[in-house]
Amino acid sequence: MQDLLPIALRAAKDSDVVDLICALSAFFKELCAKELLVEKLDDIGPNVVITLCKMEKMFPPNFFIIMVHPLVHLTEEPKLRGLVFCR
């Protein structure tokens, strides 16, 4: 899904929405990689916060339920528990 969703959305008219979805897909692709560097996690953590802030400007408030916020904390989990695909 991290690879196909940005390709499928290229046909969308609004390039800002496509860029946000691509940034979110890149976040999940980095997070679910087989090799995970702590430095990389420290870099993508603040980037997902910025992406979510941009999404709050683009999408209606009903989209941002309580389940969107844990994305901010997902970069801490591999530091504490190891790789995602090993759990």
The 10s digit of each residue's pLDDT in 6-38 is 777 777 777 788 888 888 888 888 888 888 888
Dist. CA 87–CA 83, nearest whole Å: 7
Q: Cα–Cα distance between 10 and 7 in angstroms, integer? A: 5
Domain count of the chain? 1
The domain of 57 spans: 4-86
Q: What's the pLDDT score for residue 41?
A: 85
pLDDT 10s digits, 35-65: 888 888 888 888 988 988 888 888 887 877 7
pLDDT(78) > 70: yes
Q: Which of 49-53, 75-79, 80-84 has the highest mean pLDDT?
A: 49-53
- Give the DSSP per-residue string, 12-58: -S-HHHHHHHHHHHHHHHHHT-SS--HHHHHHHHHHHHHHHHHHHHH
pLDDT of residue 26: 87
